[in-house]
Structure formats: structure tokens, C-alpha cells
Structure 1
Amino acid sequence: MLSRVLAVVLQSLNPFDPIARGALARGVVRGFLAVDGTVALIALGAAGLLWLGTPLPLLAAPPFQEGAGELAGGVAIGAALATGLAAIGAGIGVGIAGAAAIGAIAEKPETLGRTLIFVGLAEGVAIYGLIISFMILTR
């Protein structure tokens, strides 16, 4: 059922129409989502456990100190954006560099050290974003 819903959603988006039809015809969508709804059920269960495990005083606590000012929300959003966008960029970079590194290592195993350097450079972007968010929060 869930695979059919995903296929209908993909078909409604024009650029993905051929992809959705092909995936639905070959059964790729069903295989990707495991057994109908299993992934959604696991995610819902994890969210429920997280909600049940959170102490109530933590949820009731004020987000900032009293009288923190009007800019406290903007500061928090800025720090979150710095970390989040840097992590997304680093994830994309590591995905591309990691795939290329695995291909290079498969063809020539002695390139392992050089390829790890490029993957590490892509991970540095996330660290820089985290440093910037700490600088924003402690200003």
C-alpha cells in the first residue's frame, strides 16, 4: 500500500513520471520500502520511544533565560542553520567523494591514503559549521 502511495506521489511530479512508472512496473519501489509500511512503523516506534523517554521537566523548562532578549530566537535559528546546512553540505560531499574513493580503491588499492584525505576534507565542512554555531551561541 505504501509503495503504491509513493508511486502515485512520484507520478504526480512531472520530472519523475518516467522514473515512477518504471519503478512501479519493475517492483523497485516495493523492494526499497521493504515490506509495506515496515520502515514507517519503525520510525513511528522510534519517535514514540524518544517521546516517552524524555523527562517531563525538560519539556516544561523555558527555552532561554528570562529576559534573554528578543534576539534569542534568531540566535538559536542562526546557530541551527549554520550546523544543519553545513552538515547537509558535508553529507553530500562525503557521499560523492566516498563513492569516488571506493571506486578508486577498488581499481588501485594503493590509493587508499590519498582518497581518505579527500573524504576528510569534505567532513571538515560540518566541523566548520559546528564551530560557527558555537561562535554564534557564545557571542
Structure 2
Amino acid sequence: MNLHTFQRLVRAGKTGLFLLGLVTAGMAYASGDAAVAEAAAGVAKAPVDPAIFYAIAVTMSVGSLSAGFAVGKVGAAAMGAAAEKPELLGKAIAFVGLGEGIALFGFLVSLFLVFKI
């Protein structure tokens, strides 16, 4: 394994730890918020499966990371094409918007999961 591969693995590990921290913090906030809402309403609800919070976090993170990857690749290609032929810029920006739609779909699915709770 060369140094570049090792550096990429370390970077991926740091990103994974960061995402794990975000998921844990989100679950702690959501479970605390639900307990406060139940206490204020005075109504006992059925217990919520904690796996739904993992599903929401994974949906948002995969959608956002995928959109970032798509926009990065397509945006770079669009700017390269626009540098050679400026009349292609309008068509190329539409493809960048399609890549951004991935994040929107991930957000909508996670929003539907939130309202399922």
C-alpha cells in the first residue's frame, strides 16, 4: 500500500467518524426532543424504534454525498466544455441541476420518514 492510498483511507476514516458523530448527535437530540414533547402533551405514545433515526441519517447523508460527487464531476466537465464552446453553458448547467436533484430526493425521503414517526 503506497502513501497516497493510506492517506485516502485515513481521510475516509475521519469522514466516517464525523458522520457517526452527526448521527449520534441527531439521535440524542431527537430522542430528547420527543421526551419533552410527550411530557408537555401529557400523552404517552408508543415507543419509537431508534432504527428510524439511523434510516433518516443514512438517507440524508448518502443523498447529500452522492449529490456532491455528481455536481463535482458534472460541474467540472460543464466548465471545461463551456471554456471551449461558450454556447454549451446553458445546456451543461441543466445537468448540474439534475445532479443536485439527488440531494432533493434524499431530503424528501428523509422528510417522509420523519413524519412517519
Coarse TM-score class (shorter-chain normalised) = 0.5 to 0.7
Q: Could you say which residue in structure 1 is the equivalent of 2:71? A: 94
Deviation at residue 74 of structure 1 after TM alignment: 1.2
Q: Could you say which residue in structure 2 is the equivalent of 1:109? A: 86
Structure 1: gaps (5+ residues): 1-13, 21-58
- With normalisation by structure 1, the TM-score equals 0.55
User: Which amino acid is the alignment partner of residue 108 of structure 2?
Assistant: I
Cα distance in 1, alignment partners of residues 95 and 104 from structure 2: 15
Cα distance in 2, alignment partners of residues 63 and 74 from structure 1: 17
User: Which has the greater radius of gyration?
Assistant: 1
| Aligned pairs for 1:1-139 within 5 A | 14=1, 16-17=2-3, 19=4, 62-65=32-35, 66=38, 67=45, 69-71=47-49, 73-139=50-116
Q: Higher RCO, 1 or 2 (CA under 8 Å, sep at least 6)?
A: 2
Deviation at residue 64 of structure 1 after TM alignment: 2.3
Structure 2: gaps (5+ residues): 6-28, 39-44
User: Which amino acid is the alignment partner of residue 89 of structure 1?
Assistant: S
RMSD: 2.0
- With normalisation by structure 2, the TM-score equals 0.64
- Cα distance per residue 1:15-70 (max 9 Å; x no partner): x33x48xxxxxxxxxxxxxxxxxxxxxxxxxxxxxxxxxxxxxx7x8242355514
